[in-house]
Amino acid sequence: MALNAFIFPGQGSQYVGMGKDLYENFKIVKETFEEASDSADINIKKLCFEGPESELNLTEYTQPAVLTVSVAALRALQGENKWTPTLLAGHSVGEYTALIASEAISLFAAAAIVRKRGQFMQETVDPGEGAMAAIIGLPKEEVERICFQAEEGEVVSPANYNTQEQTVISGHSPAVTRALELAVEQGAKRTVMLPLSAPFHCRLMKPAERRLAEILAGVEIAELKTPIITNVDAQINQERLKVKGLLIKQLTQPVLWENSMKLMIKEGVEEVIEVGPGKVLSGLMKKVDRQIKISNVEDTSSLKRTL
């Protein structure tokens, strides 16, 4: 039997209507939405199914919403097929879904944490002061050099190493703009400003890091049933005592997604299932290795195809 892995999306995968089809077809999904809504103190069902998009895209709402839909998809999948993945990984806030899948933390606990995480990240930088953008078509080493050149006393640095040809940068808005101009000069195929409300995974998130550490101090992490490849170091972790430190560092450190996927392949994984809204991570995996079998679960039709 081929080794398989589950991967869980993060912010940027959300869309109005996500999770609705699963909600209408699975009792466990209804229970999942209720549990997360009670914990995060948000009507996640209304937010996901009706929006408005502007509200769904606010970080403090996006994070618990994506977490909830991903856990709902996971529970629907595992209700139909009890298979256990060999490895787990989640992109940014998706790492919390991976921890739920590994039984290290409950959805109820995680939903409250990621709501606070989103608030802290949102409040750390005033609206308009920070930005994130994707640079496509330049190697990561060149993007690193461009960021160093564009800083000029401000902050701009790689936030997500998604593939060899796609790096997301984060920092002060003017510095991000300067970096994009330099990237175009250096031959980038495309640059895209991302519709995100704060500059994640860079030094500007240091105050949020401290606040998250205070919240996590009171959280109990259980033993991980399934190992997780973590964002911060792209290494396999199954030690519960390491989890909090990795989650805290995640706010200011870049997401090493390409290296995480390469390690997954090196470990013998042949099939990857993206569990949660959208197919962003499936697209990235195709760029990393086209030989890997990829499927996704976000509604009943994709669930049936995957099964």
Does residue 103 contact residue 225 with C-beta atoms inside 8 Å?
yes
Same domain, yes or no: 152 and 50: no
What's residue 1's pLDDT?
53
91 is catalytic: no
DSSP reduced 3-state for 155: coil
- Name residues whose C-beta falls within 8 Å of residue 286's C-beta, 6 or more positions apart in sequence: 292, 294
Same domain, yes or no: 137 and 120: no
CA 248 to chain centre: 14
Same domain, yes or no: 183 and 239: no
Please report where in the chains the tokens 């209720």 appear, as a residue.
Answer: 34
Nearest to 262 by CA among 140, 84, 107, 172: 140
CATH number at residue 243: 3.40.366.10
Same domain, yes or no: 26 and 149: no
Same domain, yes or no: 279 and 161: no
Please report where in the chains the tokens 């290290």 appear, as a residue.
Answer: 104
Same domain, yes or no: 226 and 145: no
**Which of 92, 102, 173, 260 is an active site residue?**
92
Domain finish residue from 167, 196, 225: 196
Tell me which residues of the chain have a pLDDT lower than 70: 1-2
Is 2 exposed, middle or buried (CB count within 10 Å of its CB: 0-12, 13-18, 19+)?
exposed
Same domain, yes or no: 14 and 115: yes
Its pTM stands at: 0.96
d(CA 97, CA 111): 10
Strand (E) or helix (H) holding 191 = strand 190-193
Does residue 222 contact residue 104 with C-beta atoms inside 8 Å?
yes
Same domain, yes or no: 25 and 148: no
Domain finish residue from 179, 196, 213: 196
Altogether, the residues listed in the chain come to a count of 307
Calculate ∠ Cα 274-2-257, nearest 5°: 40
Same domain, yes or no: 110 and 30: yes
What's residue 195's pLDDT?
80
CATH number at residue 155: 3.30.70.250
Same domain, yes or no: 227 and 99: yes
Please report where in the chains the tokens 């606010």 appear, as a residue.
Answer: 58
Strand (E) or helix (H) holding 166 = strand 166-172
In the chain, the number of structural domains is 2
**Which of 91, 170, 173, 201 is an active site residue?**
201
Token digits of residue 226: 């399934």
Same domain, yes or no: 300 and 155: no
Domain finish residue from 155, 176, 196: 196
d(CA 85, CA 226): 7
CA 181 to chain centre: 27
Same domain, yes or no: 62 and 189: no
Question: What are the b/e assignments for 55-75, b being 16+ CB within 10 Å?
Answer: ebbbbbbbbbbbbbbbbbbbb
* Range(s) of the domain holding residue 188: 130-196
